[in-house]
Amino acid sequence: MKRMIPLLITAALTLTVCAMPAAAEETSSQIMEEQSMENSSFSASPIISRNVPAYSGSGRPNEANDDVYYTSWRSEAPDYLAYDLSGVPEAQRGKVLAVWYNSSSYDQVGSYVSVTDEPTDYVLEINHAPGGSFPEDGWEIVETVSDNTLSTRSHLLDLDGANWIRMRITGSKGGILLNFDIHDASSGGRDSWIFFGDSITAGGMINMWGTSYATFVHAIDPAYTPLQQNGGIGGITSKDGREYIDKWLTATAAHYVSIAYGTNDSWGNQFSPETYYENTKYMIDAILNAGRVPVLPKIPHSTNPDVGPYVTTHNAMIDRLYEEYGDRIVQGPDFEAYFKEHPEGLGDDGVHPNSDGYEEMRKLWAETMYEKVYTKGNAVRSGDVHGDGTVSAADVIMLQKYLLNAGTLTVPEAAELYTDGVTDVFDLAMLKRRLLTQ
């Protein structure tokens, strides 16, 4: 869709980069970061709450939405954490994904439970009051959670154009320690992931410290900053996954759901390959029935003699599931092959990766999913309205003529750089900026 352009603006089009309104200028760096040179049928779910004004009754609320996750908002219940989203384009204040992260064990299951400052009871609220000054009144509850036992939860919400969102916590296990992100889900919220599994997942898919899966995806393609939840729990097996998967799926809005069990099943052949197959098949069906996409990686190779001899037979069950389900599941990384080739990435027990091994796991996850999910389908080069495979001055000229009603676009979908659903002078301005910073 093209917006009609006032006469005064058309003159500016022929001269130089158009000036953006103040609100657009303030968010341009964020939008530039969220756009990449490649757009595909896979839609981004960018974070819209990064470094927006944050408010709470105590503590440092800005540490909940800065660009690092080793800082967190700390407080005591009852308290609240509120974000002023009024500077975010209204088009991104409709459907959103709200997610919080805590460093506790994902759930209070198994022998290695550790719970630290985890919210147990809270509500999510929105407010249409103007931005700039925290509103005491006018809050509307859009989600209620009681008796929570999880270290992270995500919610698909409709902000309905609201300027404010607030997490109001009335109960917690200890104090409160968390990070809180809001993602734009106007394109469906597909770039959202949860990784269920045992201690290898818990250690490998951590996002509260260090480099995360989301960090690696963003490094590959800055268009994407995935919502990434860690559902790993030390010591558990596919039997536990089967028992709890239905509960866990109700507590996450993640579109892609990884199930990475099998190491503990293989340990001493605790569960036969056939039992592992049945448990994993149950989880896959539960994910599909919930309208999500299951992701199934291979069980990591182990040099531990109590584990290694059984990994291959359990992974044969994964190959069987790959064949049975076809493209209804996403094939995750082959960690058996990787750690056979790189045993130096395993720790002293020959089972758990060392710090370098975990880092390589996260990187391999990002590379594999980028190839199999993010770039699946026909890619369109963002800004390449000319359709010649490059982004150049020819694209600027073509878009400029189009906005002056003096021409057409060869690839119209490549013109949407500003992501507000309208092709206009803001897209042209961002295209010119892109060329200047290449």
Are the C-beta atoms of residues 147 and 120 closer than 8 Å to each other?
yes
Contacting residues for 278 by C-beta, under 8 A, at least 6 apart: none
For 162-188, the pLDDT digits (tens) are 999 999 999 999 999 999 999 999 989
pTM: 0.79
Residue 21's pLDDT is 39
Say yes or no to pLDDT of 135 above 60: yes
Strand order in the sheet with 176-184: 73-75, 176-184, 95-101, 152-158
Q: Look up the CATH number of domain 48-186.
A: 2.60.120.260
Say yes or no to pLDDT of 45 above 90: yes
Burial of 375 (0-12, 13-18, 19+ CB in 10 A): middle
Say yes or no to pLDDT of 15 above 90: no
Say yes or no to pLDDT of 199 above 90: yes
Ranges of each domain in the chain: 7-40+378-437, 48-186
Say yes or no to pLDDT of 47 above 70: yes
For 342-391, the pLDDT digits (tens) are 999 999 999 999 999 999 999 999 999 999 999 874 344 568 887 666 78
For 377-436, the pLDDT digits (tens) are 434 456 888 766 678 899 899 999 999 988 888 877 678 775 555 788 878 887 887 677
SS3 184: strand
Q: Look up the CATH number of domain 7-40+378-437.
A: 1.10.1330.10
